[in-house]
């Protein structure tokens, strides 16, 4: 069980992915937020699980107020 949760936007790839993995290693539960490609979010989830981290995936465009309504 985790006591801290981090929402990491753009964590499907690049710097966002690296931040999400680092936070998972430090004991955070991670919300993997990505905008387009499910495969990218799934890969980040796999990498987090490889370090015994806990995470969920949320596909949403957080750049706009309406981006998370779908």
Across the chain, which has 70 residues, the per-10-residue mean pLDDT values are 91 96 98 93 97 96 77
pLDDT at 51: 98
What pLDDT is recorded for position 16? 96
> What total of structural domains would you count in the chain?
1
pLDDT of residue 18: 98
Rounded distance between C-alpha atoms, residue 8 and residue 14, angstroms: 12
64: in domain: no
pLDDT at 45: 98
Of 21, 13, 9, 15, whose CA–CA distance to 47 is shortest? 21
Beta strand extents in 1-70 (DSSP E only): 5-8, 29-34, 54-59
The answer to whether position 67 is within a domain reads: no
Q: Is 70 contained in some domain?
A: no
Is the residue at 68 inside a domain?
no
What is the C-alpha to C-alpha distance for residues 43 and 11, in angstroms, rounded to an integer? 10
Determine the structural domain holding residue 15 and report its residue range.
Answer: 5-59
Residue 31 lies in a domain: yes
């Amino acid at each position: 069980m985790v006591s801290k949760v981090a929402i990491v936007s753009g964590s499907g790839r690049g710097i966002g992915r690296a931040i999400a993995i680092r936070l998972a290693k430090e004991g955070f539960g991670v919300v993997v937020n990505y905008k387009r490609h499910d495969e990218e979010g799934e890969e980040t989830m796999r990498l987090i699980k490889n370090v015994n981290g806990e995470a969920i995936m949320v596909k949403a465009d957080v750049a706009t107020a309406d981006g998370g309504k779908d």
